[in-house]
Amino acid sequence: MTYTQLKISGLWIVEPKIFADTRGYFTETWKKEEFEQNIGKVYFIQDNESKSSFGVFRGLHYQEGDAAQAKFVRVIAGKVWDIAVDIRKNSPTFGQYESVELSEDNHLQFFIPRGFAHGFLVLSKTAVFSYKVDNIYSPASERTLNCFDMDIAIQFPVEKEILLLSEKDKKGMSLKDIADNRILCKKMCDGK
């Protein structure tokens, strides 16, 4: 696999080797030892999967406090535009984001450490999205960052009017609220 660190510290693209022939393909999507040598130790405890339709935007989600999560995401079927926003309070890139297209064709994977809000937009008719997490889902600790916040100024690859969001995601907090209210846990603020 090829590991490429992005401009924002902590974010990585992982490109697996694809062994293809007329029958199809084979690939290794995660190897603990190799992952740790390149990115570091992350103790994934659960795999999740969702299926969504074109235009669905899920996010920008994060969990605060001890419930914070790192994610390692990929697309099994279809195509998505994936985004991670740095919400680590003391980070020099606080409020900045990185985005990447993940698809069944490019096989790219995206590692998002704790301290980021994460979301994805479905660009194909449907998409099956799969991801590993290093902490359990905690409804009481889950928060949403507003994807339309002008302080982040996300440049979506489609018209914003196309986006389909849940009611919860429509009511996301602003980046200013996150910074002003100091709601991030110490681990996230320290960038750990």
What is the C-alpha separation between 187 and 184, in angstroms, rounded?
8
Number of domains in the chain: 1
List the structure tokens of 98: 């990185």
pTM: 0.90
Confidence of residue 32 (pLDDT cuts 50, 70, 90): very high
Tell me which residue of 51, 61, 71 sits closest to 124, measured CA to CA.
Answer: 51
Q: Which residues are catalytic?
A: 61, 131
Tell me which residue of 47, 68, 53 sits closest to 185, measured CA to CA.
Answer: 68
DSSP state for residue 8 in the 8-state scheme: S
Could you read off the pLDDT of 148-167 as tens digits, one per residue?
Answer: 999 999 999 999 999 999 99
Question: What average pLDDT does this structure show over 102-115?
Answer: 97
Confidence of residue 186 (pLDDT cuts 50, 70, 90): very low
Which range of residues forms the domain containing residue 161?
2-189
Confidence of residue 179 (pLDDT cuts 50, 70, 90): confident
Confidence of residue 48 (pLDDT cuts 50, 70, 90): very high
Is pLDDT at 189 greater than 90 in this prediction?
Answer: no
pLDDT of residue 181: 58
DSSP state for residue 44 in the 8-state scheme: -
CATH code, domain with 63: 2.60.120.10
104 and 75 in contact (C-beta within 8 Å)? yes
